[in-house]
Amino acid sequence: MQSTEKQEFTTSRGTRFMGISLLIGIPTLLIFAFLLSPADDNMDDAVRLIYVHVPMAIFAYVAIITTGIGSVFFLWKKSRWWDTVAHASAEIGLILCGLVLITGSIWGRPTWNTWWEWGDVRLVTTLVLFLMILGYLALRQVPANPEMRAKRASVVGIIAAVNIPIINRSVEWWENNTLHQKSSLTDGKLENLTLFTLFLGFIVVGISYLWLMTHRFRVGWMTTEIETAGIAELIEERLNEGNSTVVNSQPQQKDGTK
Amino acid sequence: MFRDAWLVTKKDLLIEIRSRIVINQIAPYTLLILVLFGFALDADTETLRDTGPGLFWVSTLLVAILAIQRSVDIETSDSAIDRLMLSGISPTSIYIGKTIGLYIQLIILEVMLFIVMVVLFDMSVESYPLIIASAILTTLAISSSGTLYGVIASGLGVRETLLPVLFLPVLAPAIIGATRAFGDAFGRVSSDGWAWLGLLSVIAIVYTLVGMLTYGNILEDT
Amino acid sequence: MSTVINLDQSIVFLGQFPALTGVTMSIDQGEIVLIKGPNGAGKSTLLHLCAGLLPMRSGTGTVLNFDLQRQRMELRPHIGLLGHRTGLYPDLTVKENMKFWASAYGSNDNEIDKAMAFFGLSGRLESVRSQNLSEGQRRRTAFALLLIKRPSIWLLDEPYAGLDDNGRELVNSCILQAVEAGTTVLIASHQINNIGKSDQRTLQVKGGRITIEPEEPSKGDDHVS
């Protein structure tokens, strides 16, 4: 698609650059994750999932917080731009959240010997977050007045975003129940190569997020434009409703019709 | 502001006293849920006691959905909401008033549920203050978010399905906390139940604030 | 006489539907304005817009000097709107409905009694739940609520629906009294052409805008005064 018409496609120079970086970045990450980085002492080869699992978890949070910020600004500034940002980010957030849950449970199988561990706070709270965004997107799909739907979705988006810190705090209360390897990142035991691969994972997932976000935002924006484009015709149609007595556009002069 | 809010609360409670929808229809449903759990868990009293705290809050949540829908219906069934919006009562006052109204009704349902559960499941309470404190906070979280979400899900023609999908995940963290706190209060788990009150109060306060700030916006186009 | 309602090219969307497509009108204090037009022409939307209950997509408008773009909240307490539905709480009695709204409006018991007596709601009907009232009785209650609110503008949407002859006369005389006192009244109705005041005006709404004002609306036989 070598088109120069920027308005008609969601591609631009920026997204093309991001796309190409991903074409290079993803194979590089895979090579580092599967071949170059060493297996962990106690997690064995399962550690390799961490390189995507952790960055995706962080960017799932970023996506939902972006939805929250977009929602606040939408309610405040009443601009469709922010609403489109919130909507786009929520969809990507849902995908990331879903992938976090999937990679998490794949990782849990060899490590904890179970696909799903109810005792683990992070897994459970991520599921809760996943369900919240699912609700948000369900609301966005309801056939209704777009502005009213956007307003309501914003409130749901804000609530989902404020739940992230709440959920994070709840981990502390639940501390003794978590099976998560919380310390592995901070206790300095990680080797340099492992650390680098994780860093690479962050970059690749981060670019993926931005890339998807830009495209999804542009699709959303186009949808809005299509919706608003028909307005002139709608008004015209409405004016011609009934018959053609629409002649007087200045009926306001008052003459006491007695 | 609080005078107006109290006016709305009094009105909602008076309507409940007159119509008795919550007491005659919603309350029996609560008990049914509890009894059904009893059947489903095969009358193993020890299991019931262990799961009691969770069952209590799950039942409360399911019943809350009905109470929320009723609270919204009061205003929308004959468009009283239009007159309310024109009355000069601020949306924040309406929100606070309806939240308190829902709160009082839920507390009554919970007390009833609690008594029945203690009797049916033969449970012994180790710490009443913990039960009361966690119920007060959790119910505030339920009624503040419920009043908000009730309006969010209303007027779209899909309320019955949409409200639970939106509302239940939002309260999941509160229910986790409340269940742990109750578990400790009933002596079924050996964690510190009081530690969960912090989480519960944060949730209750945050939801109430978000509700106060956004309710008017949503109410605008119902 | 000052202008109380002034709309200029107001466009209102209900969802994706352009309910009002550019209404321009100006109404003075103390006027009675009949709004006529076929079903779905936008009469109710116009009243809701003047009540500050609907946002304008474009255009400008002021009602009682409140800007319809920015001050809808402040405007609302000064508006009395009687819609298709009566907005009563079905489980409460007539008296309880009156009392609740009276405290919301800050009206006293004396006003409640007067309004209820005027519309024939005193006595037995006081303690009847509004869900058991007839359509006409509900409408009378809604009018009594309008009286105790003492709004500056009355917006009446099909006010005669379900009323008997006696009810219509009561409504007409209460409209006339209100107008005497300086209230402005807008009535959207199919059923009536003249409520008995000489300087009333009729606006024709069609396709979401005001079309021609009919020359001579009065038939003369609907007078009550």
Amino acid sitting at position C54: L
Judge whether C54 and C213 are in contact, CB under 8 Å.
no
**Confidence at residue A217, expressed as pLDDT on a 0 to 100 scale:** 93
Q: How confident is the model over A221-238, as pLDDT tens digits?
A: 888 888 777 777 888 888
- Whether B108 shows a pLDDT value over 90: the answer reads yes
- Whether C193 shows a pLDDT value over 60: the answer reads yes
**Confidence at residue A186, expressed as pLDDT on a 0 to 100 scale:** 47
- Bridge partner residues of B122 (DSSP): none
Other beta carbons within 10 angstroms of residue A240's beta carbon come to 11
**Cross-chain residue pair A251–C212, CB shorter than 8 Å:** yes
Other beta carbons within 10 angstroms of residue B65's beta carbon come to 20
- Name chain C's partners: 3 or more CB pairs within 8 A: A, B
Q: How confident is the model over B17-50, as pLDDT tens digits?
A: 998 888 888 889 888 888 888 888 776 778 888 8
Share of chain B above pLDDT 70, in %: 98
Average pLDDT over residues B176-194: 83
Share of chain C above pLDDT 90, in %: 37
**Confidence at residue A257, expressed as pLDDT on a 0 to 100 scale:** 35
Judge whether C164 and C146 are in contact, CB under 8 Å.
no
**Cross-chain residue pair C89–B80, CB shorter than 8 Å:** yes
**Confidence at residue C219, expressed as pLDDT on a 0 to 100 scale:** 44
Distance from CA of B2 to the nearest CA of C (A): 12
- Whether A245 shows a pLDDT value over 60: the answer reads no
Chain C residue at shortest CA distance from B94: C104
Distance from CA of B167 to the nearest CA of C (A): 25
The residue of A173, A175, A176, A177 whose CB has the most chain B CBs within 10 angstroms, and thus the best one to mutate to test that interface, is: A173
Mean pLDDT of chain C: 86
Going by pLDDT thresholds of 50, 70 and 90, the confidence category of residue C146 is very high
Choose among C16, C41, C212: nearest Cβ to A248. Answer: C212
- Whether A254 shows a pLDDT value over 50: the answer reads no
Q: B23 — contact with chain A (CB < 8 Å)?
A: no
Between residues A72 and B158, the one the model is more confident about = A72
**Cross-chain residue pair A241–C28, CB shorter than 8 Å:** no
- Lookup: tokens for C70: 């920015």
**Confidence at residue B127, expressed as pLDDT on a 0 to 100 scale:** 87
d(CA C88, CA C90): 6
Average pLDDT over residues C147-165: 89
Between residues A33 and B144, the one the model is more confident about = B144
Distance from CA of B10 to the nearest CA of A (A): 27
Share of chain B above pLDDT 90, in %: 53
Q: C30 — contact with chain A (CB < 8 Å)?
A: no
Distance from CA of C129 to the nearest CA of A (A): 34
- Whether B72 shows a pLDDT value over 70: the answer reads yes
- Name chain A's partners: 3 or more CB pairs within 8 A: B, C
The residue of B1, B24, B86 whose CB has the most chain C CBs within 10 angstroms, and thus the best one to mutate to test that interface, is: B86
d(CA A84, CA A214): 11
**Cross-chain residue pair A251–C213, CB shorter than 8 Å:** yes
The torsion of the CA quartet C163, C165, C171, C174, rounded to 10 degrees, works out to: -160
**Cross-chain residue pair A170–B218, CB shorter than 8 Å:** no
Q: C39 — contact with chain A (CB < 8 Å)?
A: no
- Whether C222 shows a pLDDT value over 50: the answer reads no
**Cross-chain residue pair C18–A248, CB shorter than 8 Å:** no
**Confidence at residue A50, expressed as pLDDT on a 0 to 100 scale:** 83
Q: Lay out the sheet containing C3-14: strands in order across.
A: C17-28, C3-14, C58-63, C66-67
Choose among B152, B195, B207: nearest Cβ to A156. Answer: B152
Q: Which of B95-99, C14-18, C58-62 has the lowest mean pLDDT?
A: C14-18
**Confidence at residue A2, expressed as pLDDT on a 0 to 100 scale:** 41
Q: Which of B48-52, B123-127, C189-193 has the lowest mean pLDDT?
A: C189-193
Average pLDDT over residues A54-66: 93
Q: How confident is the model over A79-127, as pLDDT tens digits?
A: 889 999 999 999 999 999 999 999 888 888 887 777 877 767 778 888 9
Q: Would you list the domain boundaries of chain A?
A: 19-36+46-179
Amino acid sitting at position C177: Q
Sequence length of chain B is 222
Choose among A75, A125, A166: nearest Cβ to B203. Answer: A166
Share of chain C above pLDDT 70, in %: 90
**Cross-chain residue pair A125–B173, CB shorter than 8 Å:** yes
- Lookup: tokens for A222: 């186009």
Q: Which range among A51-60, B133-142, C164-173 has the greatest average pLDDT?
A: B133-142
Task: Report ipTM (2 d.p.).
Answer: 0.89
Indicate the SS3 state at residue A78: coil
At residue C37's C-alpha, the angle toward residues C35 and C38, to 5°, is: 150
**Cross-chain residue pair A249–C22, CB shorter than 8 Å:** yes
Burial class of residue A191 (count of CB atoms within 10 Å of its CB; 0-12, 13-18, 19+):
exposed
Distance from CA of A239 to the nearest CA of C (A): 5
Sign of CA dihedral A119, A121, A126, A129: positive
Chain A residue at shortest CA distance from B155: A144
**Confidence at residue B122, expressed as pLDDT on a 0 to 100 scale:** 83
Other beta carbons within 10 angstroms of residue C138's beta carbon come to 22
**Cross-chain residue pair C53–B85, CB shorter than 8 Å:** yes
**Confidence at residue B101, expressed as pLDDT on a 0 to 100 scale:** 96
Backbone angles phi, psi at A161, to 5 degrees: -70, -40
**Confidence at residue C221, expressed as pLDDT on a 0 to 100 scale:** 41
Q: How confident is the model over B195-218, as pLDDT tens digits?
A: 888 889 999 999 999 999 999 888
Choose among B166, B198, B217: nearest Cβ to A139. Answer: B166
Going by pLDDT thresholds of 50, 70 and 90, the confidence category of residue A250 is very low
Mean pLDDT of chain B: 89
Share of chain A above pLDDT 70, in %: 79
Chain B residues touching C149 at Cβ < 8 A: 87
* Half-sphere exposure of residue C104: CA atoms within 13 angstroms, side-chain side: 29
Q: How confident is the model over C90-106, as pLDDT tens digits?
A: 999 999 999 999 999 98
Chain A residues touching B191 at Cβ < 8 A: 176
- Bridge partner residues of C23 (DSSP): C10
Going by pLDDT thresholds of 50, 70 and 90, the confidence category of residue A253 is very low
Average pLDDT over residues A136-152: 89
Amino acid sitting at position C208: G
Choose among C22, C25, C207: nearest Cβ to A242. Answer: C207
Q: B42 — contact with chain A (CB < 8 Å)?
A: no
Average pLDDT over residues B108-130: 89
Backbone angles phi, psi at C35, to 5 degrees: -110, 120
**Confidence at residue A252, expressed as pLDDT on a 0 to 100 scale:** 39
Residues 71-90 of chain C with CB under 8 A from chain B are 76-77, 79-81, 83-90
Q: How confident is the model over C116-142, as pLDDT tens digits?
A: 999 988 888 888 998 998 988 999 999
Going by pLDDT thresholds of 50, 70 and 90, the confidence category of residue A49 is confident
Write the DSSP assignment of chain B as a string of letters. -HHHHHHHHHHHHHHHHHH-HIIIIIHHHHHHHHHHHHHHTTT-HHHHHHHHHHHHHHHHHHHHHHHHHHHHHHHHTTTHHHHHHHTT--HHHHHHHHHHHHHHHHHHHHHHHHHHHHHHTT---S-HHHHHHHHHHHHHHHHHHHHHHHHHTTTSS-HHHHHHHHHHHHHHHHHHHHHHHHHHHTTSS-S-TTHHHHHHHHHHHHHHHHHHHHHHHHHTT-
Q: Give chain C's domains with CATH numbers.
A: 3-210 (3.40.50.300)
CA-closest candidate to residue B113, choices B41, B30, B16, B174: B30
Q: How confident is the model over A1-33, as pLDDT tens digits?
A: 344 444 567 778 888 888 888 888 888 888 888
Judge whether C159 and C139 are in contact, CB under 8 Å.
yes
Distance from CA of B12 to the nearest CA of C (A): 10
**Confidence at residue B205, expressed as pLDDT on a 0 to 100 scale:** 95
- Whether A188 shows a pLDDT value over 70: the answer reads no
Alpha helices in chain A (DSSP H): 13-31, 50-77, 80-112, 121-141, 146-173, 192-229, 231-239
- Lookup: tokens for A237: 């149609």
- Whether A160 shows a pLDDT value over 80: the answer reads yes
Q: Which of A181-195, B66-80, C72-86 has the lowest mean pLDDT?
A: A181-195
- Lookup: tokens for B63: 């019943």
Average pLDDT over residues A237-248: 60
pTM: 0.88
Mean pLDDT of chain A: 79
- Lookup: tokens for A53: 């699992």
- Whether C52 shows a pLDDT value over 70: the answer reads yes
SS3 string of chain C? CCEEEEEEEEEEEECCEEEEEEEEEEEECCCEEEEECCCCCCHHHHHHHHCCCCCCCEEEEEECCEECCCCHHHHHHHEEEECCCCCCCCCCEHHHHHHHHHHHHCCCHHHHHHHHHHCCCCHHHHHCEHHHCCHHHHHHHHHHHHHHHCCCEEEEECCCCCCCHHHHHHHHHHHHHHHHCCCEEEEECCCCCCCCCCCCEEEEEECCEECCCCCCCCCCCCCCC
Average pLDDT over residues A151-166: 92
Query: Cα dist. B107→A10, A51, B119, B190, B199 in Å?
Result: 53, 47, 18, 26, 20
- Whether A141 shows a pLDDT value over 70: the answer reads yes
- Whether C16 shows a pLDDT value over 80: the answer reads no
Chain C residues touching B88 at Cβ < 8 A: 76-77, 104-105
**Confidence at residue C41, expressed as pLDDT on a 0 to 100 scale:** 87
- Name chain B's partners: 3 or more CB pairs within 8 A: A, C
Average pLDDT over residues C58-81: 91
Q: How many beta-carbon pairs under 8 angstroms link B with C?
A: 66
Q: C206 — contact with chain A (CB < 8 Å)?
A: yes
